Amino acid sequence: MSQIQYETLPKTVQDIVNLYEKGQLNLEPGFQRSSVWQERDRRKLIDSILRNYPLPSVFIHRNEEDGNLVYDVIDGKQRIESILMFMGVMRGNRFWTKTQLPGQEQPDWVNWRTLEGRKVQNLITGYKLHAIEVSGDPGDVIDLFVRINSTGKALTGQEKRHAKYYTSPFLRKAGQLARRFVSYLRSANVLSPSQITRMKHVELVCELLVSAFTGDVINKKAALDKIMQADSIKGRDLEKATRLTVTGLNRVRRMFPHISQTRFRQLSDFYSLAVLVQKLEKEGLILSDRKRNKLANDLLLTLSNGVDDVRLMIKKGKPIKPGQELYRDYLLTVLEATDKQSQRRRREEIIRGLLASLFARKDSNRLFSQEQRRILWNTVDEKKCMRCKRSLTWSDFTIDHIKPHSRGGRTALDNAALMCGKCQSIKGNR
């Protein structure tokens, strides 16, 4: 491992703008995190520049791409972004700030055009940033990024993993799934917008993928770090885990549409519920009957309310009532060491005890046999597609589950109908 080399090179804001406009400033290297600053943070920065206050150093990594010099921003992304937004160089994100310009007696609201109109834009463009230019191996540069960002708005665990392992196929897949389900996780109040900017949605999907792979709940930090370091989930294993994770999240969304009104919107509770649904799916158990689904919703709501009631009673120093022992047991799993494997396993066991009996088992036979095909063909009067009514022949007909297999439909003749291949593909699991 070679030592990191660095030198301090003062750069004006205009120098930074020139690099950005020429495509030589990379604000989004793979290890960088998403923007976490609010507009109030950006306003304070511009106010500081206009008052000529000194700012912390900006760290940039000098490298070459196809013969061109490019600077990856290691630290200072939020500051550089804020300047570019204020100036309108980064389009669509202009903002105002309240400051006291030279010669003014009182602070006033200004934007970039205000500065141009008063011919004092040089207060921004001429401001000198302390830029520390770094060179070294990629691994060392990433380690430097993690160390620098361990103060201030420190990196979350997932942001650190992203920085270290952003080239991992597992992490890329998790990122894709997280983007796919981010609107659901927000609407269900499982994650807030600020948590999403800190990559909590990616962390949750990583956990669910690992649980789908291992078949059990995991100890959050230890398992994720180990998986990332070993890069042990890839290829077919990753695809299988992905399919199970997608199916599990879709089933939770469909089965519990009002989850935002329960404690199961909280990350620790939601994770345990989602892993349980994954397990039940793997065991061939599904919840498709409307009455049973409603009962499952009611039981989940009852558990949620019961746990919250017991929590209030404990806070008031009151003893729990007979019949509330289960709620107390569940509460104990979320009071401390919430992400410990034993606590997560106990939560899942309690939820399973309430809901599992409502699930129906899928027919072990997914496909109709040759005997069933012959019997159906020879016993129906009209050999037509039940959907488009096109006439079928022995060589081009398919058999469709009237009630889809994925929703508990049996692979039996009383649940079978003739259909053409095109219509069967369109029908899907409806």
Per-residue model confidence as pLDDT tens digits over 348-397: 999 999 998 888 776 666 778 888 888 888 888 888 898 899 898 888 88
Decide the pairing of beta strands 416-420 and 108-110: unpaired
CA 345 to chain centre: 22
Q: Which of 125-139, 162-176, 296-310, 380-394 has the highest mean pLDDT?
A: 296-310
CA distance 29 to 41: 22
DSSP 23: T
**269 contact partners, CB below 8 Å, separation of at least 6:** 263, 334, 347
385 contacts 399 by C-beta, under 8 angstroms: no
Structure tokens at 16: 């930074």
* 101 pLDDT higher than 80: yes
Q: For 197-224, what is the mean pLDDT?
A: 86
Decide the pairing of beta strands 5-12 and 128-135: antiparallel
Which H or E run contains 44?
Answer: helix 39-50
200 contacts 156 by C-beta, under 8 angstroms: yes
Instruction: Tell me the pLDDT of the chain averaged across its residues.
Output: 85
- Amino acid at residue number 198: R
Q: How large a percentage of the chain has pLDDT more than 90?
A: 39
Q: What pLDDT, on the 0 to 100 scale, is given for residue 1?
A: 47
**Please, which pLDDT band fits residue 149 given cuts at 50, 70 and 90?**
low
Q: Give the position of tokens 């942001």.
A: 159
Q: What pLDDT, on the 0 to 100 scale, is given for residue 151?
A: 53
Q: What is the largest CA-CA distance in the chain?
A: 96
CA distance 351 to 112: 56
204 contacts 157 by C-beta, under 8 angstroms: no
Overall residue count recorded for the chain in this entry: 430
Q: What pLDDT, on the 0 to 100 scale, is given for residue 8?
A: 85
**17 contact partners, CB below 8 Å, separation of at least 6:** 84, 87, 89, 125
Q: Which of 303, 329, 339 is nearest to 217 (CA)?
A: 339
DSSP 121: T
Alpha helical stretches, state H, 267-340: 267-282, 290-315, 325-335
Q: Which of 45, 77, 40 is nearest to 60 (CA)?
A: 77
CA distance 114 to 93: 16
Q: What count of Cα atoms within 13 Å lies in the side-chain half-sphere of residue 401?
A: 20
The CA distances from residue 155 to 3, 141, 150, 244, 328, in Å, are: 24, 16, 6, 30, 35
Q: Residue 275's CB: how many other CB atoms inside 10 A?
A: 27
The CA distances from residue 95 to 42, 55, 193, in Å, are: 9, 20, 20
Decide the pairing of beta strands 285-286 and 397-401: unpaired
CA distance 280 to 296: 14
CA distance 168 to 233: 10
**CA 42, 47, 52, 54 torsion: positive or negative?**
negative
Q: What pLDDT, on the 0 to 100 scale, is given for residue 92?
A: 77
CA distance 12 to 219: 47
DSSP 231: T
Q: Which of 112-121, 163-172, 419-428 has the highest mean pLDDT?
A: 112-121
Min mean pLDDT across 195-199, 240-244, 248-252, 390-394 is at 195-199
* 157 pLDDT higher than 80: no
pLDDT: which is higher, 10 or 155: 10
Q: Which of 403, 409, 413, 400 is nearest to 372 (CA)?
A: 413
**130 contact partners, CB below 8 Å, separation of at least 6:** 8, 10, 54, 55, 56, 57, 58
Q: For 15-42, what is the mean pLDDT?
A: 82
CA dihedral 198, 199, 204, 210 (to 10 degrees): -130
CA distance 404 to 286: 12
